[in-house]
Amino acid sequence: MAPRSKDWSAVPGRSWEWAEGSSTSGVHTCEGKLVWWTRPGGAGGYFGEVASEQSFDAFLEAGPAVFVPDDVARELRALLEASE
């Protein structure tokens, strides 16, 4: 029998952004999972944006799926652990 997934409905919708070279990257919790994204050329629109998903469980087990500043990773972990 597969393990039951946690109910993550209590996780508030939050988002973070940071500069990464000439790009802007970020993550949000607004879809019941983490959505990591990178926008080439900075904050000037969504053209060329690339995104990937990671479950909250996977983040807590293995950490971020992409590069993320330490302060953002700590805030995300605290937010998710408070919502467990």
pTM of the model: 0.84
Furthest-apart CA pair in the chain: how many Å? 47
**DSSP β-bridge partners for residue 38:** 25, 50
60: which residues sit within 8 A by CB, 6+ positions away? 77, 80, 81
Output the 3-class SS for 3-60. CCCCCCCCCCCCEEEEEECCEEEEEECCCCCEEEEEECCCCCCCCCCEEEEECHHHHH
pLDDT of residue 47: 67
In this prediction, what percent of the chain has a pLDDT beyond 70?
Answer: 87
Please tell me which residue, 33 or 22, carries the higher pLDDT value: 33
Summarised one tens digit per residue, pLDDT across range 35-74 is: 999 988 765 666 678 899 999 999 999 999 999 999 999 9
